[in-house]
């Protein structure tokens, strides 16, 4: 008999019309081996992994032994990929079910890399170890940075090779998410031109994520307003830590407001607003500075999908939809400015704030200054002593900043502690992530585990970790990241 591991499944997705999913089993895995298990996360969500053998766990996280109560399925969705609409779906993922934690939180438990589905198109349904390590490492780092994200519970290797540009070890990631409802799920429903489908998804999403909207006079508008807030918050977090998602297609934007799908994502080293890493992102559609614009573009696709539910009169609906989307830059800008003030230790609202921020970014860009370290250096000491700051262009800016700090009417220490909760000491730098992935592919998991440990407390000053703060040297710089799908 299959063990329960205290999974507490109560899966509601299957209450949606049948078009939204296909029930099916993950592939059998011949030689599953554990790469890493997130015991701390398991404990947090009330899952017991301690009273069993490693062999049992490798069978659990490969899908060979499904826990009691699971009802595996793959979800259907669509999406705009680099601007073009496509019908998609979980091409290599199986949702085991919705687990209810002891605190009553509902979480999707999903395998990624677990075999072909009706939505696989030309894909093999598999995942390679490297990209799954990237997702595990960065999603956990994002969580510890205080940024909404899917989580990673386990990685196993399958013992089978997957063919990409070369043959690579196959792996399965177990991912947790508040849900996997995406902008693309609404586009999928809208594409059927069947109002009942759309309405069913709207009601489901509201009940699951925004129950307060049930009381709104117009539920579609209520949902859109709430999601705009959530997405603005999320992008502001990304901009705060220099995170570049890399594939902000509408199928990779959740309605819960969690970061999802860590394909070619990376953190920026030296500040350049045009930075992008993804090998498939020609033209930098998803560059650092474009992220808020793309979020707005994606939300416009969500609103388009919801037009039939915004108003029965098409013209009225479009009008209302346009008014809503025009609000996004206003909402975003206000949240961004408040985040930037916290990065610079500024209290209150002064007319010179925007210029002060702009001037610093300009200086950073012109001087190849490291994004993370510049803000952290300013948080550690009001007068940073590193060589890069000993130039008159920085001194000029620094004088203006000090004058602005005086208007806080608060001691420097108060500003500094706010700054140290906004400006991380440690981020998963891309050259280190690549080194860890390469080592792991050769069977050496020590760096991976060490780095996971280091990333537990990203805001804590710890001078022993100085080596993790060092930006890549010229020969270590990574210019391109790959999805690896």
Residues designated as active site: 251
Task: Name the residue nearer to Mg ion (CB basis): 112 or 429.
Answer: 112
Cα gap 473→269, rounded to integer Å:
11
Q: Which of 341, 352, 391 is nearest to 369 (CA)?
A: 391
Q: Is 32 in the site for ligand AMP (CB under 6 A)?
A: no
Alpha helices in 99-178 (DSSP H): 129-144
- What is the spatial distance between Cα 119 and Cα 466, in angstroms, rounded to a whole number? 45
Phi/psi of residue 262, nearest 5 degrees? -90, 65
Selection from 110, 107, 114 nearest residue 91 by Cα: 114
Task: Find residue 163's DSSP bridge partners.
Answer: 167
Shorter beta-carbon distance to ligand AMP: residue 36 or 252: 252
Q: Which residues contact 101 (CB under 8 A, 6 or more apart)?
A: 8, 44, 45, 46, 107
* Count of residues in the chain: 485
Q: With H, G, I as helix, E, B as strand and everything else as coil, classify residue 396.
A: helix
Q: What number of other Cβ atoms are within 10 A of residue 195's Cβ?
A: 13
Which CA distances in Å does 374 have to 55, 239, 388?
46, 14, 10
Cβ proximity of 238 and 292 under 8 Å: no
Residue among 180 and 240 whose Cβ is closer to ligand AMP: 180
User: What does 88 bind: Mg ion, ligand AMP, none (CB cut-off 5 to 8 Å by kind)?
Assistant: ligand AMP
Ranges within 219-258 binding Mg ion (CB under 5 A): 252
Among 439, 445, 465, 483, contact with ligand AMP (rule: CB under 6 A):
483
- Residues 258-277 touching Mg ion, rule: CB under 5 A, are 261
Token pair of 198, please? Answer: 């759309």
Residues 94-153 that bind ligand AMP (CB under 6 A): 120, 123-126
Nearer to ligand AMP, 297 or 447 (CB): 297
Contact string 190-229 vs ligand AMP (x = CB under 6 A):
----------------------------------------
Q: Is there binding between residue 90 and ligand AMP (CB under 6 A)?
A: yes
Binding track, positions 86-125, relative to Mg ion; x by CB under 5 A: ----------------------------------------
Under rule CB under 6 A, which residues in 246-265 are in contact with ligand AMP?
247, 251-252, 261, 263
Q: Residues in contact with ligand AMP, total (CB under 6 A)? A: 18
Q: How far is the CB of 128 from ligand AMP (least distance, A)?
A: 9
What is the size of the binding site for Mg ion (CB under 5 A)? Answer: 2
- Shortest spacing between CB 194 and ligand AMP, in angstroms: 22
432 contributes a contact to Mg ion by CB under 5 A: no
d(CA 219, CA 313): 16
Decide: 177 and 90 in contact? Cβ < 8 Å: no
Q: Which spans of this chain sit near Mg ion (rule: CB under 5 A)?
A: 252, 261
Q: Which spans of this chain sit near ligand AMP (rule: CB under 6 A)?
A: 88-93, 120, 123-126, 247, 251-252, 261, 263, 483, 485
């Amino acid at each position: 008999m299959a063990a329960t591991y205290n999974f507490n499944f109560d899966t509601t997705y299957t209450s949606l019309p049948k078009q939204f999913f296909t029930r099916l089993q993950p592939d059998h895995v011949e030689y599953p081996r554990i790469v890493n298990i997130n015991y701390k996360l398991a404990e947090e969500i009330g899952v017991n992994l301690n009273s069993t053998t490693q062999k049992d766990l490798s069978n659990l996280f490969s899908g060979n032994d499904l826990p009691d109560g699971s009802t595996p399925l793959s979800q259907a969705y669509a999406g705009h990929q680099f601007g073009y609409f496509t019908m998609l779906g979980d091409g290599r993922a199986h949702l085991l079910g919705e687990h209810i934690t002891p605190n009553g939180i509902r979480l999707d438990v999903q395998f990624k890399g677990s075999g072909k589905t009706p939505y696989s198109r030309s894909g093999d349904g598999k995942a390679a170890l490297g990209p799954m390590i990237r997702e595990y490492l960065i999603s956990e780092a994002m969580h510890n940075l205080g940024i909404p994200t899917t989580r990673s519970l386990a990685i196993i290797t399958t013992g089978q090779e997957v063919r990409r540009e070369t043959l690579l070890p196959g792996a399965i990631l177990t991912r947790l998410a508040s849900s996997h409802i995406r902008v693309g799920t609404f586009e999928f429903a809208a594409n059927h031109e069947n109002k009942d489908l759309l309405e069913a998804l709207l009601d489901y999403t509201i009940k699951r994520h925004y129950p307060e909207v049930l009381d709104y006079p117009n539920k579609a508008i209520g949902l859109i307003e709430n999601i705009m807030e959530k997405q603005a918050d999320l992008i502001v977090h990304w901009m705060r830590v220099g995170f570049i998602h890399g594939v902000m297609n509408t199928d990779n934007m959740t309605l819960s407001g969690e970061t999802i799908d860590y394909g070619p994502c990376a953190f920026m080293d030296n500040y350049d607003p045009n930075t992008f890493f993804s090998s498939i992102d020609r033209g930098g559609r998803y560059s650092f500075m474009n992220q808020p614009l793309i979020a707005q573009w994606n939300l416009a696709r969500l609103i388009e999908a919801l037009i039939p539910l915004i108003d029965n009169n098409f013209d009225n609906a479009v009008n209302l939809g346009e008014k809503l989307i025009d609000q996004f830059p206003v909402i975003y800008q206000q949240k961004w400015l408040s985040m930037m003030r916290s990065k610079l230790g500024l209290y209150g609202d002064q007319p010179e704030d925007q210029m002060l921020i702009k001037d610093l970014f300009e200086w950073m860009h012109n001087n190849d200054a490291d994004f993370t370290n510049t803000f952290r250096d300013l948080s550690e000491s009001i007068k940073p002593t590193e060589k890069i700051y000993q130039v008159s262009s920085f001194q000029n800016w620094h004088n203006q900043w000090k004058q602005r700090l005086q208007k806080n009417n608060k001691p420097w220490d108060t500003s500094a502690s706010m700054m140290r909760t906004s400006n991380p000491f440690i981020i998963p730098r891309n050259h280190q992530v690549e080194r860890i992935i390469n080592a792991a592919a050769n069977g050496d998991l020590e760096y991976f585990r060490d780095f996971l440990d280091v990333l537990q407390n990203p805001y804590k000053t710890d001078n022993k970790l100085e080596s993790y703060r060092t930006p890549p040297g010229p020969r270590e710089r990574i210019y391109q990241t790959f999805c690896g799908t």
